[in-house]
Structure 1
């Protein structure tokens, strides 16, 4: 009886590992399968599928934050390795603030080294601790989606404290006001993390990162703005590092099966777990504007993304709109708000009159002091046929100091009795 139970458990575990292996092999084949002219028609047909048959999808303008497409985009869902974009953002910030250096060697513990050699969870084999730099692990986490590299980077940012780093992820999401809850810096859920001692204390056995499509797109927006050079790596289908080949499973990149030159794609990140399904965030260009598109929980993510991009090509357009500084008053002081762009591009649904599009800014700052470049207004695009809200802000042109507190009357130091006698004296003096 006990032997039978052991066989069942082993079978389930084996199936799970084989499932991971098959998916990895399929992604590899899709990345490196070249397109042949003789199959052009069938390839074109296969490149697109129904973009609506997904759990969630979202598309935004990377500069203005304007929403171009929304399909249940605020639902919190498992996002698998898309989570690594928050880890990479915080790593980038640590470098920017001189807390880390690209050339710093990163300590990697034995459990993470062991994880890196797992055929179901590893994609870049880490040989020894302190062998790889921040830049090496950054590339491994971004291109090959290495779980061990992402966790090691997070610990390096938080001085070796994994729990502290995850708290940093959640605090950053809160600061941005986005729908995100993290328990892992890699995107693995607790069923995998527990085996290596990385389940966060106080979290359920099956806990996983829950983030909305809109939220992860905003994280991608902050990441690419903080480190525009990321495209030199995210656009690579493969990359050589320390004698190993980092394989990018994004089949929308050249020479992947779903690659289309017309997409003008520059990256960005893939993700998969059994709970999350296939997930994908991409950056691409249209009309001189960078767009960010995310699909969560699809059975055919790459073809669905091509379908979504094609749908937007057929249904939305953009028009240039000039913006100028605006003057406001806060606590009696004049404050000038500079626009995020002197000339922005506003997207609109075909059928809308672009001449009726307006850009409105609402003052959100109400107290002094105001620091130069501090966001003080929020922007909305109206009459577009699309959602009005953006992530765009107007920023203060100058610093406005907080007014000095009014001085209280100087005390004479007299006791209440002396003040009473002095008051009586002044009263009688009027009759003399």
Structure 2
């Protein structure tokens, strides 16, 4: 075993797993524990969530909105910023980034997860992204961020902007890696506690991952690679082994579907974290598990448990019209309308995961809520005038045993306002 691979094994022991355990995963010696009894309804992790990637429907949620350290799962957001830079021609996949002393020091620190980056050497954006996502290379993440923005603080601002686009507004972001602020050394933030770590909720990470994959779907071509060569310098190339053990044919490969990404993470505060992406029941889904206790592979075992829970109780069905829902959401009264005193309600066709016992039901239980800027004092009617196609509120599907799912609702007909002088 060369020095590079020895360092990789030490890095995995610190941040992911030892080389021996990694070999066991690839050989398939680990299997997911069967889901039985009362424990079948709960994931053994600090927080967990599963969503439909396209619609954002929450399929499973456990302590999903509280913020926690997420370690290298942060790099999903880092990648989103880099993808946005490339899409807007601020960076290029084949652009070379020269490594300075501080980045090389971090990249070659045995305590962290890394590939070897030599001071003064240049590496392509593509190779740095691959190493960041496949073996969680911390130095590569730092090099990319500095090339993108010039400083940790400036890159944090770009991360905040991208997180907001994904619907995340209250995350605590200190750096592009997920390490503590003090561990970044020269590139740590001034005036911030050295122990500060990025804080996201499981739901936050699901939203960010879904936004990344919805806008840059080719990411999975990168994250699904099991083995990728990394050029350290001329004449020295090493093989990276993907640390996502849920990829097909691995020891804890997903059952009932296929995982093709996305990112693991581990620090003392964050514990074992995993954000997964893949296809199940012909739908793209995102899973998040934060701080799964015990051995490293438990983050994957608990992800499979969550998948089993959802797949056993729910199925995706296409909702094409409001008539498939409760009668009380199919029309809405119009206050002060001229002649017409109600309007029909319509929705856009969408795929909804529903409890299996509801899949063939004539009507699914639902509740309509009028938009606050169009509501009446009684909260049961929309104010005239109403125009056909006007968004009048939301319809919430009340699905037994699953989180509620909310859809926008539009008026089908126009209703003019009735004035007191009109007869």
State the TM-score bracket (shorter-chain normalisation). 0.7 to 0.9
Task: Give me the whole-angstrom Cα distance separating, in 1, the residues matched to 2:393 and 2:67.
Answer: 24
On the 8 A contact 1:30/1:256 being kept in 2, the answer is: no
Q: Which residue of 2 is the match for residue 215 of structure 1? A: 204
Secondary structure at the counterpart of residue 17 of structure 2: helix
Secondary structure of the 1:268 match is: strand
Residue 200 of structure 1 pairs with residue 206 of structure 2: no
Cα pair 2:171 2:199 within 8 Å, conserved? yes
Cα offsets for 1:266-292 (capped at 9, x unmatched)? 111111111100000101212221010
User: Structure 1 residues 202 and 53 mapped into 2: Cα distance closer, same or farther (>3 Å)?
Assistant: same
Counterpart-to-counterpart distance in 1, 2:15 and 2:173: 26
* Residue of structure 1 equivalent to 2:308: 310
Q: Quick check: 1:347 aligned with 2:353?
A: yes
Question: In proportion to residue count, which structure has more helix?
Answer: 1
Cα contact 1:352–1:383 (8 A) shared by 2: no
Confirm whether residue 20 of structure 1 aligns to residue 10 of structure 2.
no
Partner of residue 32 from structure 1, selected from 18, 26, 51: 26
Aligned partners of 2:128 and 2:144 also within 8 Å: yes
Once the two structures are superposed, residues 284-321 of structure 1 have per-residue CA deviations (whole angstroms, 9 ceiling, x without a partner) of 21222101010000022111111111111111122111
Rounded to whole Å, the distance in 2 between the matches of 1:363 and 1:152 is: 46
Query: What SS does the corresponding residue of 2:403 show, helix, strand or coil?
Result: coil
Deviations 1:362-381 (A, max 9, x none): 76999xxxxxxxxx898654
Contact 2:264 2:273 in 1 (8 A): yes
1:59 alignment partner, one of 50, 55, 64: 50
After superposition, the Cα gap between the structure-2 partners of 1:319 and 1:21, relative to the gap in structure 1 and judged at 3 Å, is closer
After superposition, the C-alpha distances for 1:44-94 in whole angstroms (9 at most, x for unaligned) are: 547999752210000100000000001000010000000001110011111
TM-score of the superposed pair, with normalisation by structure 1: 0.72
Which residue number corresponds to residue 290 of structure 2?
Answer: 296
- Counterparts of 2:98 and 2:393 in 1: how far apart (Å)? 43
Instruction: Specify the SS of the correspondent of 1:132.
Output: strand
- Contact residue 47 and residue 303 of structure 1 kept, 8 A: no
| Alpha-carbon distance in 2 for matches of 1:123, 1:377 | 52
CA distance in 1, matches of 2:119, 2:205: 32
CA RMSD of aligned residues (A): 3.4
Distance verdict in 2 for CA 1:308–1:18, change over 3 Å: closer
The answer as to whether partners of 2:15 and 2:265 remain within 8 angstroms in 1 is no
Question: In structure 2, what is the Cα distance between the partners aligned to 1:233 and 1:261?
Answer: 21
Cα distance change of structure 1 residues 131 and 31 upon mapping to structure 2, 3 Å threshold: farther
Label 1:68 to 1:77 Cα distance change in 2 as closer, same or farther (>3 A): same
Deviations 1:392-418 (A, max 9, x none): 7799xxxxxxxxxxxxxxxxxxxxxxx
Task: Please list the CA deviations of residues 191-237 of structure 1 after superposition, one character each: whole Å capped at 9, or x if unmatched.
Answer: 422xx322211211210000000001100011111211111111122
Q: 1:307 to 1:379 in 2, by over 3 A?
A: same
Q: Report the TM-score, using the length of structure 2 for normalisation.
A: 0.74
1:268 aligns with 262
Separation in 2, partners of 1:252, 1:122: 19
Which structure has the larger Rg over C-alpha atoms?
1
Unmatched tracts of structure 1, length 5 or more: 1-15, 36-41, 325-337, 367-375, 396-432
With over 3 angstroms needed to count, the CA separation of the structure-2 counterparts of 1:271 and 1:216, relative to structure 1, is same
Q: Against the structure 1 CA distance between its residues 202 and 121, is the aligned structure 2 distance closer, same or farther, given a 3 Å change threshold?
A: same
Q: Equivalents in 1 of 2:264, 2:16: separation in Å?
A: 16
